[in-house]
Amino acid sequence: MKKPEFFSRSVLANALWGFRREFMVVGLFSFVSNLLMVVPTLYMLQVFDRVMISQSELTLISLTIIAFVLLGIMGFAEWVRSWLLVRLSVRLDEYLSTGVFQATFESVLNRTGTHVQSFGDLTGIRQFLTGPAIFAFFDAPWTIVYIGVLFILHPLLGFSAIVFCLLLAGVTWATHYYTHEPLEAALESSGQALGYVQAKSRHCEVVESLGMVENLRRRWREKQQRALGLNHQAQEWSHRLQEISKLVRYSQQSLIIAISSLLVIDGRLTPGAMVAANLLMSRTLAPIDMMVNTWRNFITARVSFLRLEKLLERGGRPSSLDDAVPERAELLVRGLTATASQRAKPILKHLNASFSPGEVVVVVGPSGSGKSTFARCLVGIWPERQGEVLLDGRDVEAWDRHLLGPRIGYLPQEIELFEGSIAENIARFGEVDPEQVVRAAKRAGIHEMVLRHPKGYDTQIGESGHLLSAGQRQRIGLARAMYGDPLLIVLDEPNAHLDDAGEGCLLRAVRELKAEGRLVVMISHRNNATAAADRILKLEGGLLVAEFRRQELAVAS
C-alpha cells in the first residue's frame, strides 16, 4: 500500500502508519457492525409489511430469531473493535514511551520543552483511540450507504437525509471553527499553570518558611484564570452548537414522520417502510451527531499529537553511528564558546585547554565566571555551544550517551539524588554491583555512615534524598560519580558541604583516581581543593585568564 504523505511527516505519524493493519481490522469490524445496523430496519419492514398481513406467527418467530442472531453478531463486532483499539493503544504507548521518555529529558536539557506534558499527551492520544470519538470516524462513511437505502425506500426520504446531513455537517464545521482556537489556547494555558505549580512545589520549604504561598498562588491563579476563561469560551460555543445539533435531530425525527406519513397516505410507502425509514434516518445522522458531541476530544487529541510530534522531532540528539566507547581520558577543548538564548553575551568565550589521563585539574574563579558551565560542556550536556570538546578524539556529544555514561563521573553543584536506596543511587539505578558500590562508598568516606543505618545500603533516601543531610547527599553524589569505571570525573564544588574529615577523604579519593590513570576535573572555590591539583585553571568573565602548576598558585593569587 502506498504511504500517504501525512504518515511520512514525523516519527509519530510514521508510528501510526505502522499500525495500519490493526486499523484496517478495526475498519473491517466496523464494516460488519454498520452493515448489521440495518437489521432492526429490515426487521420492522418485515414485521409490519409481511407478518401483520400474513398473520403468520411462525414467520414472526423465525424473523425474531434471525434478528437476534444478527444483532448478537453486531454486538460482538462492536466489542471486538473496541477491544482491538484498546490493545492497539497499549501497543502504541509501549512503542512510543521509550522515545517520549528519552525525548522529554533531552528537551528539558535543551530547554525546548517542559517535563509536564509529554506523558499526558501520550495518554491523551491513547484515550482518543479508545474513546467514542474515533468510532464516529469509522462510522461516518456509512452515512452514504444509509442514505442510499433511504433513496431505495423513496427518493424524497433520501433527499431529506442529505439535507439533514448537510445541516449537521455545518454544525460540526461551526463547532470546529468556534472552539478549536480557544480550546487549544486553554490546553496550553492549563499546561503552563500545572507546570508552574509543579516547579514551585519542588521548593516548598523556602516557599513555606518565607510565607510566599499567597504570592505564588496569585501568580498561578492568573495563569489558571486565563485557562478557565478560554475553556469557558470554548464550552459555551460547544454547548450552543450541541443544542443546535439536538434541534436538528429532533426536527428531523418529526419531519421524517410527517414526510413518510404523507407518502403512506399517497400509497407510495408502506407503513413498515415508514417506521423503518425513521429508524434508518437516526442511524444516518448518528455518526455526525457523535462528532459534534465529541469534537472537544478530537481537538485535545490533535493538540497532544502536534506537541508530541514536535517533542519527538527535536528532542532526540542524533545517536552515534557505532557502539564504541572512549578508552583514554584525553580531553581537548578547542575554541569553546558557550551561549544561552536568554543572554546577550556568551558565558564562555573561546576557551582552549587540554587534559591528560592521570591528571587532576582544578578550575577556580569568581562566582558567575562560568565554571559550572565549563563543567557541563566537558561532560557534553550544555546545549548551546560552539567549538570542540573532544574526548579520546571524538566530540563528547558524539559518543553514544548510553555507553558514554558509565565512563563519566559527574557531580553537579546541585547534587540531584533520586528516590530509591543508597545502593541504587550509587549504582546509578543500573544493576547494583555490591562490590563496586562499597568501593565507591569507601572512597567517598560514607561506608561507615551507611552501615550505621539499620538497613545499610538498602536505606531509602526519599525524593531527591531529602531524608539525608546536605553533607551526606554530597558524599553519596561523590560515590555515584566514582562508581564503576569512569575515565573522566568532573566534580562541581564537591567540597561545598563537606567538613574537614570529608574534605580529607575527598582529597584521598582524588589522589587514588589519579593513581589509576583517571582524569579528574574539579571546580572549587576553596584553596584546600588545590592541594591535590596538578594544574589550576582560572576563569574570569568566561575567559581562561591564567593557568598555573600547583606550585605557582601562591604566586598567582
Ligand X SMILES: Nc1ncnc2c1ncn2[C@@H]1O[C@H](COP(=O)(O)OP(=O)(O)OP(=O)(O)O)[C@@H](O)[C@H]1O
Binding site for ligand X (CB under 6 A): 340, 342-343, 347, 365, 367-373, 413
- Tell me the residue type at 235: Q
Kindly tell me which of 132 and 368 has the beta carbon lying closer to ligand X.
368
Measured at the CA of 518, the angle between CA 516 and CA 523, to 5 degrees, comes to: 130
Nearest distance from C-beta of residue 227 to ligand X, angstroms: 27
> What residue has cell string 572512597?
443
**Rounded CA gap, 496 and 108, in Å?**
26
C-beta pairs of 245-249 under 8 Å, 24+ apart in sequence: 245/168, 245/171, 245/289, 245/292, 245/293, 248/164, 248/167, 248/168, 248/171, 248/285, 249/168, 249/282, 249/285, 249/289
Kindly tell me which of 81 and 538 has the beta carbon lying closer to ligand X.
538
| DSSP single-letter state for residue 318 | P
Q: Are 361 and 532 in contact (CB under 8 A)?
A: no
Measured at the CA of 371, the angle between CA 366 and CA 373, to 5 degrees, comes to: 135
Kindly tell me which of 245 and 339 has the beta carbon lying closer to ligand X.
339
Kindly tell me which of 109 and 467 has the beta carbon lying closer to ligand X.
109
**Rounded CA gap, 460 and 423, in Å?**
9
Nearest distance from C-beta of residue 118 to ligand X, angstroms: 21
Kindly tell me which of 161 and 544 has the beta carbon lying closer to ligand X.
544
Nearest distance from C-beta of residue 4 to ligand X, angstroms: 41
Kindly tell me which of 340 and 390 has the beta carbon lying closer to ligand X.
340
Nearest distance from C-beta of residue 372 to ligand X, angstroms: 3
Kindly tell me which of 104 and 524 has the beta carbon lying closer to ligand X.
524
The C-alpha cell at 467 is 531524608
Nearest distance from C-beta of residue 542 to ligand X, angstroms: 7
Identify the H or E element spanning 471: helix 470-482
> What residue has cell string 569553546?
336
Nearest distance from C-beta of residue 414 to ligand X, angstroms: 10
Q: If we measure between CA atoms, which residue out of 459, 503, 512, 502 comes closest to residue 482?
A: 512
**Rounded CA gap, 190 and 7, in Å?**
29
Nearest distance from C-beta of residue 137 to ligand X, angstroms: 44
**Rounded CA gap, 331 and 336, in Å?**
13
Kindly tell me which of 384 and 433 has the beta carbon lying closer to ligand X.
384
Kindly tell me which of 32 and 340 has the beta carbon lying closer to ligand X.
340
Nearest distance from C-beta of residue 109 to ligand X, angstroms: 10
Identify the H or E element spanning 167: helix 155-201
Nearest distance from C-beta of residue 522 to ligand X, angstroms: 13
What is the strand order of the sheet 488-492 is part of? Answer: 408-411, 488-492, 519-523, 360-364, 535-540, 543-549
Nearest distance from C-beta of residue 452 to ligand X, angstroms: 32
Kindly tell me which of 170 and 387 has the beta carbon lying closer to ligand X.
387
**Rounded CA gap, 78 and 72, in Å?**
10
List C-alpha distances in Å: 235 to 178, 189, 247, 290, 300.
Answer: 10, 16, 18, 16, 13
